[in-house]
Amino acid sequence: MSNIFAYEDKIRAFIAKIELWINKVERKNFSAFDTLNQIIDGQGADIKEEIQKNMMLHLSNLKSEFNRYFPDCEDKSIQKLIRNPFIVNVSEVSDEIQEEVIEMQHDTNLKDTFESGINLEDYWSQKAISFPQLRDIAIRYLTLFSSTYLCEQGFSTLLIIKNKHRNRLDASADMRLALSSTEPRIQKLVKSMQSQKSH
């Protein structure tokens, strides 16, 4: 299961790639852009400086938009605590949860469970029950992205379904089908139907 931290890691990696591409384009290294690189190699052509500057500008704008839309989390110590409560420095977290952090860090059973590879959602929702403050903070972060994403996905689906050609339809059944993560078992449904025999 993916959580906000996994998505944030992917976004930060993509932003770092954009920075790499900007540096490569600045040095006229277009290896990150396969099609352009093939054209340049195939024709032995050189990119004009104006095009190079345009590419760098577009990449810089893309990076700025990603940074604006996905700003860095302000409280890195909480993220670190949720990702691995056993390596965080107690002095980095707020006073209200320091004692729970110390208790958790000295619970060898919990540490063994965490190190066994359990996913964060299961760990914080099922194993860390005796640490309610830490658990509440972790659950709040771990459920953050999924609900936002599902809302946005629902609105996008509704916009697709309710267009000018289908604006009078009741969209609830279509929405349920479009947003469901359940895969239909068509073959099983077909086999279970009794065919109508002609008279």
Q: Give the model confidence (pLDDT) of 102-128 as tens digits.
A: 999 999 999 999 999 888 888 898 888
Q: Looking at residues 43-53, what average pLDDT do you find?
A: 84
> Would you say the pTM of this structure is higher than 0.75?
no
Task: Say which residue the tokens 């929405």 belong to.
Answer: 175
Mean pLDDT score across all residues of the chain: 85
In order of 6, 11, 17, the CA distances from 127 in angstroms are 21, 29, 37
Query: Quick one: average pLDDT of 141-164?
Result: 74
In angstroms, rounded to a whole number, what is the distance separating the alpha carbons of residues 95 and 91?
A: 8
Judge residue 3's burial from the number of C-beta atoms within 10 Å of its C-beta, 0-12 exposed, 13-18 middle, 19 or more buried: buried
* Spatial distance between the Cα atoms of 8 and 14, rounded to a whole number of angstroms: 10
Query: What percent of the chain has a predicted confidence (pLDDT) above 70?
Result: 92
Q: Of 55, 58, 60, 65, whose CA–CA distance to 27 is shortest?
A: 55
Q: Is the pLDDT reported for residue 146 higher than 80?
A: no
pLDDT at 1 over 70: no
Q: Are the CB atoms for 110 and 104 separated by under 8 Å?
A: yes
* pLDDT, tens only, 76-91: 888 889 989 999 999 9
